[in-house]
Amino acid sequence: MTCDLPSDFAAERERLLDPAHDEHEDIIGYLQDYPDPASVPYLKRAIALKPALAYLDYDDYGAYYKKCLWALQAIGTAEAIAVIRECASADDEALRAQALYRLERIAQ
């Protein structure tokens, strides 16, 4: 899929990895809206960043992870799906559950 990316797209991807704000989920949604394969490594790193985001301590059910996985599914490349598969064997129970569910949905 080819689409014109907004001019601030690269900056927003970089901002996703900055723990000094509380807009990560908004940025993830933005990356989902503009599914670009170059976003895959950023989303993978954003998944790993989640435990360091104190403002998401309440998120025991994996809503943040779910959003990352939706964005990866929207990108849909082999690399993006591989990240979801990798998450399906994560130690974090919420991440693992969300990834397994996402893989089931992809298989349908």
If one counts the domains in the chain, the total is: 1
Which pLDDT value is given to residue 1?
47
Residue 42 lies in a domain: yes
In a domain, 3, yes or no: no
pLDDT in tens, 12-23: 999 999 999 999
Cα gap 40→85, rounded to integer Å: 13
Residue 2 lies in a domain: no
Contact 83, 58 (CB under 8 A): no
Q: What is the pTM of this model?
A: 0.92
Chain segment 10-62, per-residue pLDDT in tens: 999 999 999 999 999 999 999 999 999 999 999 999 999 999 999 998 888 89
Residue 1 lies in a domain: no
101-107's contacts with Cβ under 8 Å and 24+ in sequence apart are: 102/66, 102/69, 102/70, 102/72, 102/73, 105/73, 106/73, 106/81
Question: What's the confidence (pLDDT) of residue 99?
Answer: 98
The answer to whether position 31 is within a domain reads yes
Residue 100: inside a domain: yes
What tokens does 74 get?
A: 């929207």
- Range of the structural domain that residue 51 is part of: 9-107
